[in-house]
Amino acid sequence: CWRLGSDILEGSKPLKIFSKMSSPSAGKRRMDTDVIKLIESKHEVTILGGLNEFCVKFYGPRGNPVISPYEGGIWKVRVHLPEHYPFKSPSIGFMNKVYHPNIDEVSGHYLSNIFESFLPQLLTYPNPIDPLNGDAAAMYLHKPEEYKKKVQEYVRKYATEEALREQENQGVSSD
DSSP of 69-134: TTTT-EEEEEEE--TTTTTSPPEEEESS----TTS-TTT-EEE-S--SSHHHHHHHS--TTS-SSH
How far apart, in whole angstroms, are the C-alpha atoms of residue 166 and residue 172? 9
Binned at pLDDT 50, 70 and 90, residue 66 comes out as: low
The CA–CA distances, whole Å, from 57 to 17, 66, 120 equal: 50, 23, 12
The CA–CA distances, whole Å, from 43 to 46, 92, 102, 129, 152 equal: 10, 16, 22, 29, 22
- The answer, as to whether pTM is greater than 0.85, is no
Binned at pLDDT 50, 70 and 90, residue 133 comes out as: very high
The β-bridge partners of 109 are 93
Q: What is the mean pLDDT of residues 112-119?
A: 49
> What does the DSSP 8-state code read for residue 65?
T
Whether a cis peptide bond, with omega within 30° of 0, leads into 65 is no
Domains of the chain (ranges plus CATH)?
A: 25-169 (3.10.110.10)
- Mean pLDDT score across all residues of the chain: 76
84-88, 104-108, 145-149, 171-175: segment of lowest average pLDDT: 171-175
